[in-house]
Amino acid sequence: MTMGTHSEAAFHDAKSILVGGVNSPVRAFKGVGGTPIFFESATGATMTSVDQKQYIDYVLSWGPMILGHAHPKVIQAIQFAANKGTSFGAPNQYETQLAQLIQSFYPNMEKIRLVNSGTEAGMSVIRLARGFTQKSKIIKFAGCYHGHSDSLLVAAGSGGLTLGVPDSAGVTAGVAQDTICLDYNDVDSVKAVFSTYKSEIAGVILEPITGNMGVIKPSVAFLDALQAGCRDTGSLLIFDEVMCGFRVHPNGAQGLLGVIPDLTMLGKVIGGGLPCGAYGGRAEIMDYVAPEGSVYQAGTLSGNPVVMAAGIATLAEIKAQNYITTVSQQTQSFCELLHEKGVRHGLSVTQVGSMFSLFFSEKKPQSLIDVKNSDIKRFNLFYHGLLEKGIYFPPSAYEACFTSIAHTQSIYEKTFQSIMELLSLS
């Protein structure tokens, strides 16, 4: 078999031993077609492939790298911590420092538990919501992703108010039945579900600014309905800020939207590029978690000192330099221009803070149904055009792009020109 690029060869080798050649499905490029690019290094806003081609990176490891890749302060912190031992499996003071820093951004997280991924945060908040409320049902929304735990890999049933069905083989119908999946921004179904299942709902979980179906904002009426439903039935409002945390407002989506959830999930940015997640909220609820309470959750590598050091360096730098605001403003200018000039080519740009999405659709999507109605085929062609021009977007029409402090004006200009050239061709 003749091999073309080094990436193609690397993918061929990977497929012989790794399932699908990857360790996380979207990386396999099934959404956009073609061969995934293998990278060997990254610095600032740029990643270099094994074929020595440079790409402007708008994936940023799916969000964490808000300081850009290999930021000197983060690398230094990792090296310093690693030199003192890579894991203790016992308490260390970095854990308290990272939690304090997180709380300085998210004052409503009165108590915090650090974990190793967003998935762990997701499965833990669901168990906690059930343990605290003594109820079993969870409401989630189509297009929101909260990690791959069983209760959350659930799709909508056939009718609006029916219980959920498994969204993956291996998730049992029994588990799925305790999750109700509704359309994002659909106020009527939220109200209807709360009135039908009032005494059974443990919690409502959502991405308060979505990233996993592209960037979509919740309407005020939708948020009001969620808050009223939770208040009236004693269920918990859970914000999954794993993706939008530290990207839309210095106090998170909850600060931007002025809505205080009972529990918050975080991930990505808080680990500075190393594996980390967190959940937290009102002390009264969090004290149900072991060892204080009866909801069990643990982790051998949770609070790992090297990870903590990377997270502390990242959050400290963001805070000291007010980067959330700066990157948001730069991203907004870029996206406003792109939307204005792109509209006549059928492009809609959505953006909140340092997250944005491009949709080939006449209007800005409000839910997964709208996203699915956008021109995915055109996106995929456009995607490969971007790659040729050295611009790396998430390999799926359903994802958000991310920016960093390393994305300079000239990088935005190059991206803008490239997108305009591609639009005029298609």
Binding site for ligand PMP (CB under 6 A): 62, 117-119, 122, 145-147, 207, 211-212, 240, 242-243, 267, 277
Beta carbon nearer to ligand PMP, 241 or 317: 241
CB of 76 to ligand PMP, least distance (A): 24
Beta carbon nearer to ligand PMP, 242 or 248: 242
Instruction: Write the CA distances from 269 to 328, 356, 406, integer angstroms.
Output: 15, 17, 15
Beta carbon nearer to ligand PMP, 26 or 419: 26
Write the DSSP string, 330-349. HHHHHHHHHHHHHGGGT-EE
CB of 238 to ligand PMP, least distance (A): 11
- The answer for residues whose C-beta is within 8 angstroms of residue 250's C-beta and 6 or more apart is 105, 322, 324, 325
Instruction: Tokens 């094994």: give the residue.
Output: 50
CB of 84 to ligand PMP, least distance (A): 26
The 3-state DSSP class for residue 31 equals: coil
Cβ–Cβ under 8 Å, residues 184 and 176: no
Q: How many Å apart are CA 356 and CA 229, to the nearest integer?
A: 30
Beta strands in 200-241 (DSSP E): 201-206, 236-240
Beta carbon nearer to ligand PMP, 186 or 207: 207
Task: Retrieve residue 81's tokens.
Answer: 């911590």
Beta carbon nearer to ligand PMP, 391 or 400: 400
CB of 265 to ligand PMP, least distance (A): 6
Going 30 to 32 to 34 to 38, the CA torsion angle's sign is negative
CB of 381 to ligand PMP, least distance (A): 25
> Which candidate in 55, 58, 94, 145 is catalytic?
145
Tell how strand 39-43 and strand 46-49 pair up.
antiparallel
CB-based closest residue to ligand PMP: 118
Task: Retrieve residue 384's tokens.
Answer: 């490969």
Q: How many Å apart are CA 395 and CA 411, to the nearest integer?
A: 20
Q: How many Å apart are CA 309 and CA 97, to the nearest integer?
A: 9
> Which candidate in 106, 150, 268, 412 is catalytic?
268
240 flagged as catalytic: yes
Q: How many Å apart are CA 160 and CA 156, to the nearest integer?
A: 8
Beta carbon nearer to ligand PMP, 68 or 267: 267
Q: How many Å apart are CA 402 and CA 66, to the nearest integer?
A: 8
53 flagged as catalytic: no
Q: How many Å apart are CA 22 and CA 8, to the nearest integer?
A: 13
CB of 288 to ligand PMP, least distance (A): 21
Q: What is the CA radius of gyration of the chain?
A: 21
Beta carbon nearer to ligand PMP, 248 or 423: 248
> Which candidate in 150, 178, 183, 240 is catalytic?
240
CB of 24 to ligand PMP, least distance (A): 7
∠ CA 78-306-399, rounded to 5°: 85
Which residues are known catalytic residues?
145, 240, 268
